[in-house]
Structure 1
Amino acid sequence: MSELPLRAQLAAALGKGAATLSRATGRGDGSVIGGRVALKVEPDLLAKLARGRRLSLVSATNGKTTTTRLIASALRELGDIATNEHGANMPTGHITALADSPDARNGVLEVDEKYLPQVLRETNAAVVVLMNLSRDQMDRASEINLLAKKWREALAKSETHVIANADDPLVAWAGLGARYATWVSAGQRWKEDSWCCPECGGHLKRDPDPHWECPECGLRRPDTSWAVDNQTDSVIDPNGQRLPLQLNLPGDANRANAVIALATAAAYGIHPKQALPRLREIRSVAGRYTSVVTNGVEVRLLLAKNPAGWLESFAVLSPPHVPVILSINAQVPDGKDTSWLWDVDYTVLRGRRVFCMGERRTDLALRLETDEVPFEIADRVDEVVAKLKAEQPDITKVDVIANYTAFQQIRTAYGRVQ
Structure 2
Amino acid sequence: MAGNSDPLTPRAKLAVTAGKAVAAASRAAGRGSGSVIGGRVALKLDPDLLARLAQNLDCVLVSATNGKTTTTRLIAEALRAAGPVVSNALGANMPAGITSALAGGSDAKFGVIEVDEKYLAGVARDTDPKCIALLNLSRDQLDRAAETRMLAENWREGLAGSKAVIVANADDPLVVWAASSSPNVIWVAAGQMWKDDAWSCPSCGGVMQRPGDDWFCGECGFRRPTPSWALSGDHVLDPHGSAWPIHLQLPGRANKANAASSAAVAAVFGVPPQVALERMYQVQAVAGRYDIVQFQGRDLRLLLAKNPAGWLETFSLIDPPPTPVILSVNARSADGTDTSWLWDVDYTRLTGHPICVIGDRKLDLAVRLEVADQQFQVCEDLDQAVQLCPPGRIEVIANYTAFQDLRRRVGN
Q: TM-score, length-normalised on structure 2?
A: 0.97
**Which range moves more in the overlay, 55-64 or 2-11?**
2-11
The equivalent residue for 2:19 is: 15
Structure 2 counterpart of 1:409, one-letter code: D
Q: Which residue of 2 aligns with 1:413?
A: 409
Counterpart in 1 of 2:116? 112
Please tell me the residue identity of whatever aligns with 1:320.
P
Matched with 2:198 is: 194
Q: Following the alignment from structure 1 to structure 2, what is the Cα–Cα distance between the partners of residues 407 and 257?
A: 21
Aligned residues: 408
Offset, 1:297: 1.2
How far apart are 1:229 and its partner, in Å? Answer: 1.4
1:401 counterpart = 2:397: yes
Aligned: 1:348 with 2:367: no
Mapped to 1, the partners of 2:338 and 2:24 lie a distance apart of 34
CA-to-partner distance for each residue in 1:304-334, whole Å, 9 max, x for gaps? 0000000011001111111000000000000
How far apart are 1:78 and its partner, in Å?
1.6
> How far apart are residue 228 of structure 1 and its match?
0.5
Q: Distance in 1 between matches of 2:118 and 2:247?
A: 33
- Which residue identity lines up with residue 66 of structure 1 in the other structure? T
Query: Is structure 2 residue 161 aligned with structure 1 residue 153?
Result: no
Matched-pair contact (CA < 8 Å) for 1:114–1:142: no
Looking at structure 1, the residues matched to 35 and 105 of structure 2 have their Cα atoms a distance apart, in angstroms, of: 13
Which residues of 2 match residues 264-343 of structure 1 at below 5 A?
Answer: 264-343=265-344
Matched, 1:216 2:212: no
**What one-letter code is carried by the residue in structure 2 that aligns with 1:38?**
A
Q: Report the CA distance between 1:208 and its aligned residue.
A: 2.0
Deviation at 1:2, TM superposition (A): 4.2
Does the residue aligned with 2:302 lie in a helix, a strand or coil? Answer: strand
Query: Would you identify which runs of 4 or more consecutive aligned residues in structure 1 move more than 3 Å?
Result: none
Partner residue of 2:172? Answer: 168
Instruction: Letter of the 1:91 partner, please give it.
Output: P
**Aligned sequence identity (%):** 54
In the TM superposition, what are the counterparts of 1:19-58 in structure 2 within 5 Å? 19-58=23-62
Deviation readout 1:344-385 (Å, 9 max, x if unpaired): 011111221001100000000000001111110112223222
| Residues 232-264 of structure 1, C-alpha deviations (whole Å, 9 max, x = no match) | x11111111111102111111000000000000
Alignment correspondent of 2:140: 136
Where do 1:85-124 residues align within 5 Å? 85-124=89-128
Does the CA contact (< 8 Å) of 2:65 and 2:140 recur in 1?
yes
1:164·1:171 contact (CA, 8 Å) conserved in 2? yes
3-state SS in 1 of match to 2:327: strand
- Which of 177, 184, 191 is the matching residue for 1:180? 184
CA contact (8 A) 2:64 2:117 kept: yes
1:392: which partner in 2? none
With the length of structure 1 as denominator, give the TM-score of the two structures: 0.96
C-alpha contact 2:161 2:183 (8 A) present in aligned 1: no
2:249 is the alignment partner of 1:248:
yes
CA distance in 2, matches of 1:295, 1:365: 25
SS of the residue 2:193 aligns to: coil
Deviation at 1:109, TM superposition (A): 0.4
Deviation at 1:157, TM superposition (A): 3.5
Residue 85 of structure 2 is aligned to residue 81 of structure 1: yes
Q: Distance in 2 between matches of 1:361 and 1:10?
A: 47
Which ranges in structure 2 are unaligned for 5 or more consecutive residues? none
